[in-house]
Structure 1
Amino acid sequence: MLGLPPLYRRRDFYKITLMTGDVKLQYADQGILVDRPAVLFSNPLIPYSFEALSENVKGFACLFTDAFLKNGDRSASLQDSPLFRIGAFPVTFLSDIQYNTLSDLYNRMIAEMETTYVYKFELIRNYVNLVIHETMKMEPVNDTRPHHNASSRIAMLFMELLEKQFPIGAPSQVLQLKTAGDFAGSLAIHVNHLNRAVREVTGKSTSIHITERIITEARSLLKNTDWSVAEIGYSLGFDYPAYFNNFFKKQTGVTPRSVR
């Protein structure tokens, strides 16, 4: 069942929330009143919060990673999906019939979790895909999403450029775009224009997105490779181990070696 998340909860999960009741949604810099049945598609890169405006808020929530669905037939990243894409309007309003259709899929997922069926997660993956596709089928009729503006396109291009640099596959593969200025140069726009667009769409600065992604990759390399700390730091754009150590400790509160 649906639990309202604390202010700006962020995880490494995508989330599909099916709800009824009166809710104020804060999604990045957008304030959205949800006063009828709706489904919300949350991208883990975008901060959001709920504020219940009545006591009758109820529904379901499903959390999963990009990798979970990639184990199925969907090879493209969820960030390319029309429903999860950066800058997309996150809410699809539903009729009662549409709500019941999606509610049935959530109930099937809950029931399947209680079984001992050896392929239950494969089946749940199919249900999640059905929720996504059923909603996409509704979109041409509902069409409640605003058209993408210039800021949305710039933010989307920035996030695509950022993600294309990862994962780092070898110590010799060195991060090329490390600052807001680097990304602005690649996009042929002024850095101030890039920063305004990214903050407008995501609620966070360009530098914060870059820092968070580098830290995520650093943790992954520290835990899953036998590269030295110096090699990991160099591949992430730090010429000297001390610079990487100081950066990592400032952002996480611990040293790189303590993560291993």
Structure 2
Amino acid sequence: MEPTTLAEFYKETANLIPEGINKEIGHFNVFNVDDIAAKFRKNPASPMPYNRREYYKISLISGRNKAEYADKVIDIEKNALLFATPKIPYNWLPQDHNQHGYFCIFTHEFLVHSKSGVILDELPIFQPGGYPIFQLTDEAAHDINFIFSKMYKELSSDYAHKYDLLRNYVMELIHYGQKLQPETALYPSHTASARVSSLFIELLERQFPIDSPHQKLTLRTAKDYANRLAVHVNHLNKVLKENTGKTTTDIITSRVVQEAKILLKQTDWNISEIAYSLGFEQVAHFSNFFRKQTSLAPVAFRS
């Protein structure tokens, strides 16, 4: 099953691909369903392809619909909130002409730069086997509609930090959805390994974002984190492999590369300053590291 890309989504939805859609620092957009509802009104029973997407999507839809998500089929009579993840295919079939609401799409990279340090796939709302679709009361639909309307308005503003604000709105929607989940889905187990994994992620993300070239990562290796967590490095690797499918070094490397991309694109710091802030004592070591992970030299990526 080939995942639907952002470019394909825009072509199918609005026949318009916005500039900068493939920016390395992530993508975000929000839509009012009324703006694109004409397509569905012409043929309301036309299903969207049942496939995976390369992006996350949160939707507030008012109207009669049928949702097919993984192995679930849900009939929606009025208002629904949907959380879609790239990992699980879904299908949404409008059942009448009266479709209203909002939806936003975003990539994992969009939230990486958030001070909350969120790892989307670790959130209960995006876990396989969870509860990704909620039928809403009128009051709940009103609350969520208000969040989306703020998003929609903010996206077209000239505020210099609007994307930080938009990240907060996305997290507000995620937490709203998680509060709607049954408690057993939110907290399936509190095992020792899950706790170690959670603490590791917290330690990792607490070091980001890098706001100054004088700021420097203090934890750079698997052993650094193991020592801080008072566990053996082999145990930490085992725990993370069980919980995330990745080794400690893989996770650290991925996060450092992501921050390097952000700093190269969003700051005017020189390569030496970026290398230092990311814990590399020599520029050559940083350049070799970045080239190995991205196949590009830092200067080439920046340009």
Q: TM-score normalised to the size of structure 2?
A: 0.56
Q: How far does residue 249 in structure 1 lie from its aligned partner after superposition?
A: 1.0
The correspondence of residues 6-17 of structure 1 with structure 2, limited to 5 A, is 6=52, 9=54, 15-16=57-58
Aligned to 1:28: none
The 1-side partners of 2:151 and 2:208 are apart by: 34
* Identity across the alignment (%): 35
Does 2:259 correspond to 1:221?
no
Letter paired with 1:40:
F
- The structure-2 alpha-carbon separation of the partners of 1:57 and 1:249, relative to structure 1 and needing over 3 Å to count, comes to farther
Does 2:89 correspond to 1:51?
yes
Segment of structure 1 superposing worse, 57-66 or 191-200? 57-66
The 1-side partners of 2:291 and 2:212 are apart by: 23
- The structure-2 alpha-carbon separation of the partners of 1:186 and 1:128, relative to structure 1 and needing over 3 Å to count, comes to closer
Indicate which of 246, 249, 253 corresponds to 1:211: 253
Letter paired with 1:21:
A
- The structure-2 alpha-carbon separation of the partners of 1:150 and 1:18, relative to structure 1 and needing over 3 Å to count, comes to farther
The correspondence of residues 151-230 of structure 1 with structure 2, limited to 5 A, is 151-230=193-272
Segment of structure 1 superposing worse, 175-184 or 229-238? 229-238
- SS across alignment from 2:199: helix
- SS across alignment from 1:242: helix
Q: How far does residue 89 in structure 1 lie from its aligned partner after superposition?
A: 5.8
The 2-side partners of 1:249 and 1:219 are apart by: 12
Q: How far does residue 100 in structure 1 lie from its aligned partner after superposition?
A: 10
Q: How far does residue 220 in structure 1 lie from its aligned partner after superposition?
A: 2.5
- The structure-2 alpha-carbon separation of the partners of 1:169 and 1:143, relative to structure 1 and needing over 3 Å to count, comes to same
Letter paired with 1:185:
N
- The structure-2 alpha-carbon separation of the partners of 1:6 and 1:249, relative to structure 1 and needing over 3 Å to count, comes to farther
The correspondence of residues 100-139 of structure 1 with structure 2, limited to 5 A, is 101-102=140-141, 105=144, 109=148, 113=152, 131-132=173-174, 134-139=176-181
The 2-side partners of 1:60 and 1:93 are apart by: 16
Q: How far does residue 149 in structure 1 lie from its aligned partner after superposition?
A: 2.4
Does 2:83 correspond to 1:40?
yes
- SS across alignment from 1:249: helix
Given that 2:124 and 2:178 are in contact with CA atoms closer than 8 Å, whether structure 1 keeps it comes out as no
- The structure-2 alpha-carbon separation of the partners of 1:191 and 1:18, relative to structure 1 and needing over 3 Å to count, comes to farther
Aligned to 2:116: 77
Given that 1:180 and 1:206 are in contact with CA atoms closer than 8 Å, whether structure 2 keeps it comes out as yes
Q: How far does residue 255 in structure 1 lie from its aligned partner after superposition?
A: 1.0
- The structure-2 alpha-carbon separation of the partners of 1:34 and 1:99, relative to structure 1 and needing over 3 Å to count, comes to farther
